[in-house]
């Protein structure tokens, strides 16, 4: 009798874990279907985004280029000065003349590691198991008064982000990222809105509210998004 009871408990536990896993994959699949389709997103090799934001009264124009797994570059123009940030799998550089830099400066290894997720043009939920990302469903929580699924994503680097998937549209409307930098936990919250379908069928948020440091946030408003356009790898060098 005890053996039968034990087997029954094991069976229930197995079913429970299977249900949780299936629920996670169901939410992820519905999210990917809502933004263009799983296969389309797995086929992304590059993303180029152009947009602008207002920071302390100054207009900042940004062009972001991501080549899957190879490099990420943001060209920034502010107050008539042009600079950039570059991330590759092994190194990174910043050149910000408005901050007093006269030449490109190499980023610390810890910062390069922290920014490694910028090399994923597809996003952490696309083919997440193959990428080594762990995804857990933490239930639901309201975002701006609307219910959203909470997905906890743990990357191989140890970076943890909670992605909030709107329970109606299945769009990613909020992301809270946490990671350890020089022994301190750093947290940043990003909100996504104004979702628009592009001509190639992909859906992108055209407004991204992001932290700028010192307790400030700014809206990065996209004017153009291009997918799978050629990107010369030479741009990922200072």
Buried b (16+ CB within 10 A) or exposed e, 140-163: eeebeeeebbbbebebeeebbbbb
**Tokens standing for residue 54:** 């207002």
pLDDT band at 5 (very low <50, low <70, confident <90, very high): very low
In the predicted model, is pLDDT for residue 152 greater than 60? yes
How do the domains of the chain map onto residue ranges?
A: 2-236
Residue 130 has what pLDDT?
A: 96
Kindly report, residue by residue over 164-200, the tens digit of the pLDDT: 999 999 999 999 998 666 667 778 899 999 999 998 9
Cα distance between residue 42 and residue 152, in whole Å = 21
Query: What three-state secondary structure class fits 140?
Result: strand
Residue 182 has what pLDDT?
A: 65
Cα distance between residue 225 and residue 13, in whole Å = 45
Kindly report, residue by residue over 99-116, the tens digit of the pLDDT: 999 999 999 998 898 888
Residue 78 has what pLDDT?
A: 93
CATH architecture of 2-236: Clam (2.50)
Asked whether 175 and 159 are in contact (CB, 8 A), the reply is no
Kindly report, residue by residue over 191-228, the tens digit of the pLDDT: 999 999 998 999 999 999 998 776 778 999 999 999 99
Average pLDDT over residues 124-128: 97
Average pLDDT over residues 11-20: 36
Average pLDDT over residues 26-50: 97
Mean pLDDT of the chain: 88
pTM: 0.85
In the predicted model, is pLDDT for residue 13 greater than 80? no
In the predicted model, is pLDDT for residue 20 greater than 60? no
Looking at the chain, the whole-number percentage of residues with pLDDT higher than 90 is: 74
**Tokens standing for residue 3:** 């053996």
Picking from 202, 238, 227, the residue whose alpha carbon sits closest to that of residue 64 is 227
Average pLDDT over residues 17-36: 79
Kindly report, residue by residue over 74-96, the tens digit of the pLDDT: 999 998 999 999 999 999 999 99
In the predicted model, is pLDDT for residue 36 greater than 80? yes
């Amino acid at each position: 009798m005890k053996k039968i009871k034990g087997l029954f408990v094991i069976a229930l536990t197995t079913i429970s874990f299977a249900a949780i896993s299936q629920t996670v994959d169901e939410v992820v699949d519905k999210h990917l279907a809502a933004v263009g389709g799983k296969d389309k997103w797995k086929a992304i090799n590059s993303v180029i985004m152009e947009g602008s934001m207002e920071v302390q009264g100054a207009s900042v124009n940004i062009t972001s280029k991501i080549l899957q797994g190879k490099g990420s570059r943001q060209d920034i123009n502010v107050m008539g000065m042009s600079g950039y940030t570059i991330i590759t799998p092994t190194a990174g550089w910043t050149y910000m003349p408005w901050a007093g830099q006269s030449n490109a400066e190499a980023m610390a290894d810890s910062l390069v590691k922290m920014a490694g997720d910028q090399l994923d043009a597809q996003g952490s939920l696309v083919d997440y198991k193959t990428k080594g990302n762990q995804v857990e469903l933490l239930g639901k929580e309201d975002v701006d008064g609307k219910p959203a699924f909470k997905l906890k994503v743990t990357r191989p680097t140890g970076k943890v982000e909670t992605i909030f998937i709107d329970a109606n549209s299945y769009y990613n409307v909020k992301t809270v990222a946490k990671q350890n930098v020089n022994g301190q936990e750093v947290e940043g919250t990003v909100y996504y809105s104004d979702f628009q379908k592009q001509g190639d069928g992909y859906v992108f948020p055209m407004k991204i509210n992001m932290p700028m440091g010192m307790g400030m946030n700014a809206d990065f408003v996209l004017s153009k998004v291009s997918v799978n356009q050629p990107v010369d790898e030479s741009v990922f060098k200072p």
